[in-house]
Amino acid sequence: MRGQTQEKNSFTTKQIGNAAEDCALHYLQAHGLQLVQRNYRTPGRGGGEIDLIMLDPHGTMVFIEVRKRINNHFGGAFASVSTIKRQRIAFAAKFFLMRLKYEPTCRFDVVAMDTNGLHWLKGAFTVD
């Protein structure tokens, strides 16, 4: 019984995450970004995942983390993008960029959704 509850909660969390990504995608497309890839994952274990990879109107490759929080406990949606999460996103971005035949300008953004609505933070973090 307990395992069923955990599976149900995980599935619900996944549904909520997918809905948040859908909302972020439509919002960003309305602001001129074009989808390159969704839910990009590096092969193997321990890699990274990027929710949305998009191109802005100036040709900048934008790697986007989407976060949804029902409340602002522990700092809210933006604060939930930890140092480890940023490192994994950066690792996945480097892996993704190796496939390209050119080196685009890149940016790391966060779209956060919480009780105050949707917030798009351009250049939310940088990578060395």
Q: Identify the CATH class of 2-125.
A: alpha beta
Cα–Cα distance, 80 to 76 (Å, whole number): 7
* Predicted confidence (pLDDT) per residue in 60-79, tens digit: 999 999 988 766 565 565 66
Which position has the higher pLDDT, 20 or 122? 122
Which position has the higher pLDDT, 96 or 82? 96
* Predicted confidence (pLDDT) per residue in 17-46, tens digit: 888 899 999 999 999 999 999 999 998 777
